[in-house]
Every structure is written in C-alpha cells, then in structure tokens.
Amino acid sequence: MADVSDAKLRIVGVLRDSAMDGYRLMSRTGLDENTLSTTLLELQSIVGVKGELSAKKVGEAYLYVRPEARDMADLMLASRQYQS
C-alpha cells in the first residue's frame, strides 16, 4: 500500500473514528472541496457517501467508512504507521 496518498490516509483516518458531513471532514483533514471530492471518488470501495461528490456539494454529503471495509481501512492506516 505504498501508493496510498496522504489525502486518502487523512480521510480514512478521520472517518474510521466517526462518520460526519463533508464540511466537518474538510475541517478535520485540511482538504479543500476539489481535493476531497476527487479523493473520495477514488475511495468509494472503502468510504460510503450519502449525497453528491461534486466539489460544490461534497460538504453537504454524509460520509462514513463502509462496515464491510473497516478491515481495509485499518490495513491502510497500519501500513502508513508501519512505513513511518
């Protein structure tokens, strides 16, 4: 998992602890709407979304780690910690 981007790790790390709306996720990760929207599109197998992922609407979306993907999220986060 060496190719996992910092933005992906930030998103999964925050959402692994708690589901939240996109505005709060942007605040906690320091990502802007465009980066958040683009990165979430790449994480659809791990992150569930209720709402739209367009840059203009991503703040209003409800985001969470999919229950069936929790192990993958943990693996991503452990991989980062292992490489540090």
pLDDT tens string 14-64: 999 999 999 999 999 999 999 999 999 999 999 999 999 999 999 999 999
Is residue 40 within 8 A of residue 11, CB to CB? The reply is yes
Query: What is the domain count for the chain?
Result: 1
Specify if 22 maps to a domain: yes
Which H or E run contains 43?
Answer: none
Least confident of 5-14, 61-70, 74-83: 74-83
pTM for the structure as a whole: 0.88
23: CATH? 1.10.10.10
Structural domain range at position 29: 6-78
pLDDT of residue 81: 57
